Structures are given as structure tokens and as C-alpha cells.
Amino acid sequence: MSGTTRRTGTALGAGGLARVLPGAGPTGPGRENPVAGDVPEAGEAGRPGETASARGAADEPSRYAPEWLRLREPADAAARATELLGPLRSGLADLPAPPGRLVVHDLGCGTGSMGRWLAPRLAGAQHWVLHDRDPSLLHVAAVAAPADAADGSPVTVETRRGDVTRLPPDALAGASLVTASALLDVLTGEEADALAAACVRARCPALLTLTVAGRVDLTPADPLDAEIAEAFNAHQRRSGLLGPDAVARTGEAFAARGVAVRVHPSPWRLGPDRRELTAQWLRGWVAAAVAQRPGLRARADRHLAERLAACRAGELEVVVHHSDLLALPRSADGGV
């Protein structure tokens, strides 16, 4: 684990983050491929945005290109379930001993999009502890961290490099809130269970967002969509990963520990205004499906070419269903 503490001088939104990212990306040569479908090894790739070394298929864990995370950030922001903010604020107000500042642990923070979205929606001073195993993403997250809370209180950040599935027992001690975004579906059932247990030990709310739900709707529809979706979901479940089962499994893990869970849809709605993201997502979606079912390749390649043409023409709409999960300890005195 390594850590740095910074107080940022300027709040950077998605546009600011784009300025922070140099052309080649902070990950350096050979790690720039924004989506699985763009690289020769696409057949071995994981899911949209991952590079080729799929977790479980090699020792090296999957890497996420910062360009992909930047591309998806506005769609993520539009998708996040604002309906959970009210209950979250109530849960934070009910914490047994309100600290002088909120301490938020963001697990698998990537370039820090969760903090940029959530910090300005919560009042009061905040300290964000950003966890990721990728040091270059942590660097971007620290540089592009939000500066101000909803009421103008300061927001500070600290980065911790490491595997969030192997957190030391006291890693979340003193946390007011645990967050994660687009992380649960790349965990195994045991890892999700351990994550829930760690949040419960910390006796704080957990907001775990943008987990794939295993459903996509493409308009206009095509009979091959269902076959590709099924293969993609099977690929997501490879090597024991939860994929589309993640929200149900994690919800059960919290519920088994007496923690109330709310789940709300948070779909990406990709239309002509998000053509670049839609195209990147399509390539990764099809590449993962073909990796899982190589017999699909010829039909899937034709299908992808047609879909990309429709996307370029502004004639394709895609809804990628996700879910946000909020886990709230039942009582302020630790009834968890």
C-alpha cells in the first residue's frame, strides 16, 4: 500500500479531467487501448474498457484505460440513482458519533469519478480515501479530485494503492461511508461477501453503484442481440466472477448481516449524443461475447459493422442496465 495526501486547489469536472490526461494517458506505452475491441487480443479481453489480460485468465489483473473511464464518466453521472441520495444523507446524519468531517472510502476508484459526482452533493467537510490497485489511475484521481462539498466545505483526498479484496481488517475503521462504482461485477461471491462484512464492521453506509444488471436494449432490435448478450453475460461470469449476479449476491450478503438494502436502476442511456461511448461499448460487448463463444465470430463481426454504421448515422439507441445499491446500518447504535 502507498499513500499520499493532497488538498486540491481546483475542482475539475469531466472536462477538467480531460485536460489532466495527456495524449498518451498516464499509463504509458502499451497500456492505452481504450476498449477490448480495439486491440488485437480482443478475443481474450474482458469487458468494455478492460485491456486484454483478463482477470482470472492470467496472473496480471485487468487494467482500465483512463480514456475509457473519461469517456464513460458523463454517462455514469447521468445514470447514477439520485433517488438514493436522500436516504444516504439520512444514514450519514444517523451515524453514532458524527466526526468533524465525513471520511469516505472509494474502492476501485479508477480516475475518481465517484468523488467528482458525490462530494459536491454532500454537505460538510470530507476526506476521501481513494483505493485502487492501479497507481496511474490513482494519480489521475488525486489530481482531478473535487475541492468543495455542497456547502463549500473543503474536500481532501488520500490515495491507497492495493487490492481492495485483500484489505487489512482495520482498513475501513473510522469510515463514514464506503463507495464503489462499476466494481462489484468484477468481484467473486466470496469477495463481495467480504466487502459487505468489512462495511458492516465499519458500521457505516455503503453506496455501491453502476453494477451491470445483465440486460441491454438496442433500438432498432436485432435477433442476434439476445445471443450476444447471453454470451457476454457468460463471459462476465467467467472464473467465478459475479457479473450480472453481483447486486443480488451483495444485497444478500448485507441482508444476512441485518443491514437494510435499497437497489435502484441506474441505466446508461446511449443515443446519438453519446456516439463515441456507444461505439466503444459495442466493440467491447461483441469482443467479449466472441471470446466466450468463438462460433459467433462471423455473424457477430457482420452485426458489429452494421451496428457501428447505425451508431455513426445517429440511428442507434442503447440502454445498458445497471443498478445502484445502498446499504444502511439499521440503527445508529450498531444494530448490524
Ligand X SMILES: C[S@@+](CC[C@H](N)C(=O)[O-])C[C@H]1O[C@@H](n2cnc3c(N)ncnc32)[C@H](O)[C@@H]1O
Applying CB under 6 A, the residues found at the interface with ligand X are 49, 64, 69, 76, 108-110, 113-114, 132-134, 137, 163-165, 181-183, 186
206 forms beta bridges with 178, 327
Task: Report the residue closest to ligand X, judged by CB.
Answer: 110
The minimum distance between CB 334 and ligand X, in angstroms, equals 27
Q: Which is nearer to ligand X, 183 or 216 (CB)?
A: 183
The minimum distance between CB 146 and ligand X, in angstroms, equals 14
Q: Which is nearer to ligand X, 132 or 304 (CB)?
A: 132
Q: Which is nearer to ligand X, 47 or 127 (CB)?
A: 47
User: How far, in Å, are 155, 171, 250 from residue 48 at the CA level?
Assistant: 31, 30, 22
The minimum distance between CB 304 and ligand X, in angstroms, equals 22
- DSSP per-residue letters across 241-268: B-GGGHHHHHHHHHHTTT-EEEEEE--E
Task: State the pairing for strand pair 317-328/268-270.
Answer: antiparallel
Q: Which is nearer to ligand X, 31 or 257 (CB)?
A: 31
User: How far, in Å, are 30, 99, 118, 155 from residue 211 at the CA level?
Assistant: 28, 30, 17, 26
Give the distance, in angstroms, between the CA of residue 235 and the centroid of all CA atoms in the same chain. Answer: 18
Instruction: Retrieve residue 318's grid coordinates.
Output: 442503447
Integer Cα distance of 210 and 186 in angstroms:
12
Integer Cα distance of 38 and 27 in angstroms:
17
The minimum distance between CB 262 and ligand X, in angstroms, equals 20
CB atoms within 10 A of CB 271: 14
Q: Which is nearer to ligand X, 247 or 310 (CB)?
A: 247
Q: Which is nearer to ligand X, 310 or 325 (CB)?
A: 325
Integer Cα distance of 49 and 273 in angstroms:
20
Nearest to 168 by CA among 156, 177, 160, 180: 160
The minimum distance between CB 166 and ligand X, in angstroms, equals 8
User: How far, in Å, are 141, 175, 228, 243, 318 from residue 282 at the CA level?
Assistant: 26, 38, 11, 17, 9
Q: Which is nearer to ligand X, 109 or 224 (CB)?
A: 109
The minimum distance between CB 110 and ligand X, in angstroms, equals 2
CB 261 within 8 A of CB 329: no
The minimum distance between CB 63 and ligand X, in angstroms, equals 7
Contacts of 119 (CB under 8 A, 6+ apart): 104, 126, 128, 145, 146, 148, 149, 155
Q: Which is nearer to ligand X, 67 or 132 (CB)?
A: 132
The minimum distance between CB 191 and ligand X, in angstroms, equals 7
